[in-house]
Structures are given as structure tokens and as C-alpha cells.
Amino acid sequence: MTDTDRIKTYRRTGLIIAFLIFVLDQASKFVVMVPLQLPARGQIELMPFFNLTWAQNYGVSMGFLTASTDFQRWALVTLTGLIGVAVFLWMRREQAKWDIVALGMILGGAMGNIVDRARLGYVADFADLHIGDFRPFLIFNLADACISIGVVILLARALLIREKKDETKDDVQLDES
């Protein structure tokens, strides 16, 4: 398999990951909203450290940029849609396997939350991880988790993994100086 074929496979895998995350996110939201009737129930205790707790997020990450009018809602849909397009274009240009996987996670999560905001006017959140009364995270959903994990992968790779440089090319440049 050539490098070009390998990169095409990585990109295809990134798109498949994005699609699967989108489908699983929307399916999980459907389950908590319709069969489990979480909006009417408010909360379902599952484990000592995890509940299903209904929350409508009218903002973006951690409630920033809260949309309180229809104009603001559609502005957020547009803004997050443009970010989604940028992530897609980045993924199409990227060559590193794990960066493509991370971008696929971000794209799939973004698509799930964009559909919520366009369809419902808010993002449906329900995952409530806690230790007693301490909540290390806000209430979130699968899309949020995938976006966060994807960003952490990108940051870790950018900060911790350095690509090997062509040493002979560097040596030649030093000799010419």
C-alpha cells in the first residue's frame, strides 16, 4: 500500500468515525428523550457516580455564547456549521492518522450538536458524572465527550509528539550558512 493509499484510508476512516459518532449521539439523545422520557422525569439515578439528568444547553461549550433569541440561535448554528466545515477541510488535508481520527471525532460531535440546535433550539445534554455532590464536568452528551477527546488528542499530539526532521537537509542548511 502506498503512502497516498494509506492516507486516503485514514481519511475515509475519519469520515466513518464522524458518521458513527453522529448516529450514536442522535440515537442516545432519542433514547433519553423519547423512551426514557428524561425531559419530563428530570433525572434518573443509574449508579452512585452517574445519573441521567436532563439539561437544555442554549450555549456552546460550558454554556458560553448563550443564544436567547432565534437570531442568536441561527447565528450559533451558522458559526458552528462553519467550524464544522473548517474541521472537515482540515481533515481532508491532514496526513497523520491520529490527527485524522481526532478530527473525525470532533466533526461527528459537532454535527450532532448542530442538528440539535437547528431542530430543537438547544443541545440536549444528559450525562451527569459526579462524585457525591462534586461534579467535575457540566452535564454533557456523547457529542460533547467526543469533541473533548478529539481536542485532547490533537493538543497532546501537537505538544508532545514532534515529527522527525530530515537531518541531512538540516545539516546541508547549516553548512551553507
45: which residues sit within 8 A by CB, 6+ positions away? 51
pLDDT per position as a tens digit, 3-13: 889 999 999 99
- Please name which of 110, 112, 103, 113 lies closest in space to residue 150, comparing C-alpha atoms: 103
User: Among residues 54, 46, 41, which one has the least CA distance to residue 126?
Assistant: 54
pLDDT at 170: 44
Q: At residue 128, what is the residue type? A: D
Examine the residue annotation and report whether 171 is marked as an active-site residue of this protein. no
Does the active-site annotation cover 125?
yes
Q: Which residue has the higher pLDDT, 155 or 166?
A: 155
What per-residue confidence (pLDDT) applies to 133?
A: 86
Handedness of CA 57, 61, 67, 70 (dihedral sign): negative
Q: What is the model's pTM?
A: 0.86
Per DSSP, which regions of the chain are E strands? 43-47, 50-57, 123-129
- What's the average model confidence in pLDDT over 20-41? 98
Q: Residue 36: what are its φ and ψ, rounded to 5°?
A: -85, -15
The H or E element that residue 51 is part of is strand 50-57
pLDDT digits (tens, 9 = 90+) for 88-143: 999 999 999 999 999 999 999 999 999 999 999 999 999 999 998 888 888 999 99
Residue 132 is predicted with a pLDDT of 87
Phi, psi (deg, nearest 5) at residue 54: -75, 130
Among residues 144, 166, 170, 175, the one annotated as catalytic is 144
The predicted pLDDT at position 163 comes to: 60
Residue 37 zone, left/alpha/beta (φ > 0; ψ -120 to 50; rest): left
Q: What is the pLDDT of residue 167?
A: 43
Lowest model confidence (mean pLDDT) among 21-30, 115-124, 137-146, 168-177: 168-177
Q: Among positive and negative, which fits the CA dihedral 78, 79, 81, 86?
A: positive
- Between 102 and 63, residue with greater pLDDT: 102
pLDDT more than 70, % of the chain: 88
Q: What is the mean pLDDT of residues 44-50?
A: 95
Q: Which of 25, 99, 116, 125 is catalytic?
A: 125
H helix and E strand count, the chain: 6, 3
